[in-house]
Structure 1
Amino acid sequence: MTALASVRTSAERALVAPPARFRDLLAAEWIKLWSLRSTPWSLLGAELVVIAFNVGYAWDHYRYWPTFDREHQAQFVEQKMALWDAFTTNAGMVLMLCFSAIGALTVVGEYSTGMIRTTFAAVPARRSVMAAKVLVVAAVTTVCGAIVSAASFALTQAILGARGAGVSIGEPGAVRLVVASALLAPVSALVGMAIGTLLRHSASTIVASVVVLLVLPMVVSDQRHWTAVLAHTLPFKAWMRLVQAGQYETLYPWSIGGAWFVYGAWALVAAVITVTAVHRRDQ
């Protein structure tokens, strides 16, 4: 009987699946992300639209350059206004909208299809699953943001360079502009993921993302101290501070380091919410 019990115990242990390793979870999330046909097309479409916005502004300045008087042309060159065309405000808004939606759908999509229940049934360690999802989405959107930012800078400065108005990457503030614009993509995607984890509904998540990332910065004024402080805590305002070209003038100035801190804080808090919010909630 003892030998039989020992054999049965060994067989039962052999049937128990080993716990999933974190690298296996990363691989699974990578496969899930790219198994959707919409993923590459959504990323490509977002990249092309943002680049088109920036190139359009640069081409507009190139086309109408002869109509500017010499004083205006000299001012454009001296003040390095070509940096404004490298990544425009409208392009930044479109990028935040697109990548927050992409980040949100990586979470909300699984809730809408019920795939999240299958995932958590296979891997009960919910926080590990969401941590892997966060890392995969952050990595992919960072690469996409880098491509958009670098391509925008190169194309816009090439266009303006034909008029003698472009700047090089060595220009003060140029590297900061490229890096800040690249990182705007993963920050926006992580915020979208966090909101999607909390709301679990596609329409409400998209609306909430737009309100948090785009509407609040427009509503909050920087003409009073307390509203300026609130505005400085928002990622869009932080991006605008980081890409600021020339002399920075405002009633309530803040530092470059403060803007980088806001970037990091939003990304970190969003990641923590995404990872921890699913731990004790029913699916």
Structure 2
Amino acid sequence: MSTLTLAPATSVTDTEPRARFRDLLAAEWIKLWSLRATLWVLLLSPALILVVAARNASYTYDHFDPGPAAHYYQSALNSSFSVIGADVVMLVAGGLGAFVVVGEYASGLIRTSLAAVPDRRALLLAKALVLTAVMTGWGFAVSGASFGVAQAILSGRGIGLSITDPGAFRFVAGAALFAPVCALVGLCLGVLIRHTAASIVSTILVLFFVPAFFTDTYHWSADIAHALPFTAWRRLSVVDLRDQLVSAYPATVASAWITFAVWSLASVAIALLVIQRRDH
């Protein structure tokens, strides 16, 4: 009598290839654009920034007083992207960064994502990279368009600038890269809080309201203020130092770029640590 030999059972996970990181990037790209609010927010919000830039440029055009002491250079730049524009970027980028995380938790999709990808850190890193790429492109498109609109209006007064003028590209780049920094802060708070309204409100508090509590009056207060993203953007936007606010403890351009980098990297690092410990 022959003996029946059974082949060892093979699990599905043994036969399926592990997801490559580029597959995770593709999946996160699809998930980001599958959010119905994403496209509308990213398309409609720049309209407000462009309207504000056109209005500011028109005001500068009408009230510009030419003279040897006129600070036309900084005025022309400020017309392109003002504090209102920065506020819109904080709301849009920070809110979207939080929502790409909490949206998955609210819908329950996060369970499927974490079950399909055992490496939680790789999943979140892919989400962060896609978010950074999208918001960087959006930031440059918005800041570049607002710069172009404002300078086209000011050219009628002979004070319109080119992107190749000294400091102009730094001004545009600072406004553009402010977007991914805010988005990554929102992503981090979304991972920490996991509640839609609370995450978005916390993002606004950190990015918008906290800088108001610190001034350049004291050294310790100035150091904290200079270490915040909003203050760093304001320093990058100052090209004509005659228009910089008088301060006993002024920030530098290098420290502003470092602030952008530290907040971005720290936000991702904290989010990776939290999701790895909390979701296992």
Give the TM-score normalised by the residue count of structure 2.
0.92
Residues 12 and 278 of structure 1: is their aligned pair in 2 closer, same or farther, counting only changes over 3 Å? Answer: closer
What amino acid does structure 2 have at the position aligned with 1:27?
A
Instruction: Show the counterpart of 2:224.
Output: 230
Residues 3 and 138 of structure 1: is their aligned pair in 2 closer, same or farther, counting only changes over 3 Å? Answer: farther
Which structure 1 segments of 5+ residues have no match?
none
1:15-26 map, 5 Å: 16-26=15-25
What amino acid does structure 2 have at the position aligned with 1:171?
D
1:178-217 map, 5 Å: 178-217=172-211
Instruction: Show the counterpart of 1:30.
Output: 29
Asked if 1:281 corresponds to 2:275, the answer is no
Instruction: Show the counterpart of 1:53.
Output: 52
Residues 115 and 165 of structure 1: is their aligned pair in 2 closer, same or farther, counting only changes over 3 Å? Answer: same
For 1:19 and 1:39, how far apart are their aligned partners in 2?
29
Asked if 1:172 corresponds to 2:171, the answer is no
Cα shift at 1:15: 6.2
Asked if 1:265 corresponds to 2:265, the answer is no
Find the partner of 1:136 among 126, 130, 133: 130
Residues 53 and 124 of structure 1: is their aligned pair in 2 closer, same or farther, counting only changes over 3 Å? Answer: same
How many pairs align? 276
Residues 157 and 282 of structure 1: is their aligned pair in 2 closer, same or farther, counting only changes over 3 Å? Answer: same
Residues 254 and 134 of structure 1: is their aligned pair in 2 closer, same or farther, counting only changes over 3 Å? Answer: same
Residues 17 and 60 of structure 1: is their aligned pair in 2 closer, same or farther, counting only changes over 3 Å? Answer: same
Cα shift at 1:131: 0.6
Give the TM-score normalised by the residue count of structure 1.
0.91
Q: CA RMSD in A?
A: 2.1
Instruction: Show the counterpart of 2:95.
Output: 101
Q: Which moved more, 1:187-196 or 1:218-227?
A: 218-227
1:68-87 map, 5 Å: 69-71=65-67, 75-77=70-72, 79-87=73-81
Aligned to 1:280, what secondary structure does the other structure show?
Answer: helix
Aligned to 1:75, what secondary structure does the other structure show?
Answer: coil
Q: Percent identity?
A: 44
Which structure 2 segments of 5+ residues have no match?
none
Q: Which moved more, 1:132-141 or 1:273-282?
A: 273-282
What amino acid does structure 2 have at the position aligned with 1:45?
L
Residues 166 and 13 of structure 1: is their aligned pair in 2 closer, same or farther, counting only changes over 3 Å? Answer: closer
Instruction: Show the counterpart of 1:153.
Output: 147
